[in-house]
Amino acid sequence: MDFLCAYSAVNQGHCHPKIVAALCDQAQKLTLSSRAFYNDVFGRYAKFITEYFGYEMVLPMNTGAEAVETGIKLARKWGYLKKGIPKNKAIVVSCRNNFHGRTTTIISMSTDSDAREGFGPYMPCVGPVCPATGRSVDYNSIKDLEDAFEAHGPHIAAFLVEPIQGEAGIIVPDDGYLKKAYDLCKKHNILLIADEVQTGLARTGKLLCQEHDEVRADIVILGKALSGGVYPISAVLTSKDIMLCIKPGEHGSTYGGNPLGCAVAIAALEVIKEESLVEKAAVLGEKFRSALRKIDSPLIQTVRGKGLLNALVIDETKSDKTAWQLCLLLKSRGLLAKPTHKNIIRLAPVLSITEEELMQGVKIIEQALKDIINMKSDNIPGYLEDSKLNLPDQFCDD
């Protein structure tokens, strides 16, 4: 049972037959034309996805990081053309402990030493640190955001935020946080960019996670499950007013919007609606968290999440076993999961999972929590091999 779900890239389930069929069918017709020429799939996809999400325009890319970079470029260009920010002074604010990708611009926004160290120099005018105060903008802190906006508002083009922080450990903000951030952005004429690469596409029990706060961000970033896990596809959704700040020839990608990816994305989005994955994630998410909270184990510190994006926080002071060792034991018993930030286990099963399968997963987790306390580390399947590699607990975080 896959409770990692390729970091929410296979929300529709592994190798979904409709999505694979779309891939195979289009692969026999035309896979790539480049954006220098028209093809009959991109236009259909652009119409489909903009109507699907209710945005005026889409700019297709390939990876989530590429889409985030595109969002930043759009915001900067809008800032210069529409807001009147002085040349080369545009700021894009993010939050501490964010994760938006691994490119050089994006790690410049990061506060994670594993992502940053050894990759400098960093891009200026992006990130969570407020130059005026020297403090980082904490996630879920409207006060920090307000202070940064008050200090630098005329130069701030955008606020880039995850509706739920994924790699930080499934950090769910207070109800209304995103709405308050949006209202603050409007007050200061700042764009809100919602990074929905991991939280979007039904994962949290809404089509987009921003809908929990009834927010419609100025720019939305999509990726991962936009292809159902069979092809790298990402997208930037926004209004004409923002998108048309970039003129032909100023931004692009050889593979962005290729007919193969477009056909796959249409099928992947159709599956979400046809199989009611939004509603399913909402209902099963409540049942899943309720069942996890009923587990009587000293190792459970807390359970949190929305929809089927959840975290099991392990109290490693109650045992000599780690969250990583628990995941090794879970793997040996047929359930795939992985820690993020050492003691937090992300639990994000495919959205096509049945309630029976989900509860079977809960039973596996419950028994593993019970058994691991008295187990010798050497008896945990895979532990000896893993320890010889000397890998950190967070190895291979997305």
DSSP string, 277-292: HHHHHHHHHHHHHHHH
Catalytic, 119? Answer no
> What CA–CA distance (Å, rounded) separates 60 from 67?
8
Catalytic, 174? Answer no
Q: Is the dihedral of CA 184, 189, 193, 199 positive or negative?
A: positive
Identify the active-site residue in 3, 42, 99, 149: 99
Is residue 367 classed exposed, middle or buried when 0-12, 13-18 and 19+ CB atoms within 10 A define those classes? middle
Q: Which residues contact 38 (CB under 8 A, 6 or more apart)?
A: none
Structure tokens at 276: 């009611």
Catalytic, 195? Answer yes
> What CA–CA distance (Å, rounded) separates 45 from 103?
27
CA 362 to chain CA centroid, nearest Å = 24
Identify the active-site residue in 144, 195, 218, 398: 195
- Total Cβ atoms within 10 A of residue 215: 21
Identify the active-site residue in 206, 224, 306, 321: 224
List the catalytic residues: 99, 195, 224
